[in-house]
A and B are shown apart, each in its own frame.
Chain A
């Protein structure tokens, strides 16, 4: 229907974005009716997302001609941005940015490096940057979920944690159940994505490969490859993030720093 009113590709794109944003805003309004306030965060996230992706789209032409080493720089910048975004989900957690950035850098970075070395990811900038960014973005989401869950659990169980400390437990052991729960919860989306692949959803990358003329079976296999890499990157990120963060909620004298109302 939009095609009847918008005749250029750019105008159509903006109209489609506006309609999709309207759908998202409707959800925000529904949430508000139930007393959940998401307005400002959602508006800012949508505006930022649109501006960022349009900016990247605009410079893509330049990127496609850039030397291969620039992929590394771009991916490193993405890791830093992902670390900053993820750290915001761990409000009040000491060193959240550093924990997130290291976890994503090692989690996603090692999978990107290994897979590129083995030839699973092509070294061309047109392949390395999009696939790498997918791994980083998913690692970021996983890290956010893990940190957010860990923070909530520690705040909700401060009494149990301090009881364990008071009974002579090592600080790291006193939060072990919450580290494990955070790790498991953070991987639910990645596991569900793998489980439902091809049945519930056909990812965009596969559709893109089909459109660009790849053989359907190869496109399907490569999609599994990408999702398996996403799982590996996400799992490693969550493992590293939760391991790093459990030490950050305690002082050197094994006192719980993250406390309700502090």
Chain B
């Protein structure tokens, strides 16, 4: 091979080894809870379902089309993660249901986590279906570990959500939640 050929080959090798630049994901909101602790300090409550718990088994009561809304919510949140951090599946049996219990001393979470969706207007009112859909997705966001509301109405995790799917800010926040050390462990 000539020197010129060697130069081109080396150039091709260097050009062929580059990496894409990762996004900064700077645009996010606070998702952790800060609770007063004994002694005047503050406890940071951060939680993400561990990979050993994936896929999460999620049961929905068979009323108000909740199983379909829950399936949609699972798909919405799964699509926010690039590396399989959250995967969920709808199950038909509700086994060993207990209430969520966050122990202030040990920060143990006892699954299953319960989501309550209450219809505050007559069933069949126009918009009920889309309202239930976005509310289920919003509440599932809390169950994933986004404990706080976004201050921005353009986000699904806004306190009174109006958008129907997670925003880029919701995605950034969820990804950060799953790549930040947690302070709550599961009791099982």
Partners in one complex: no
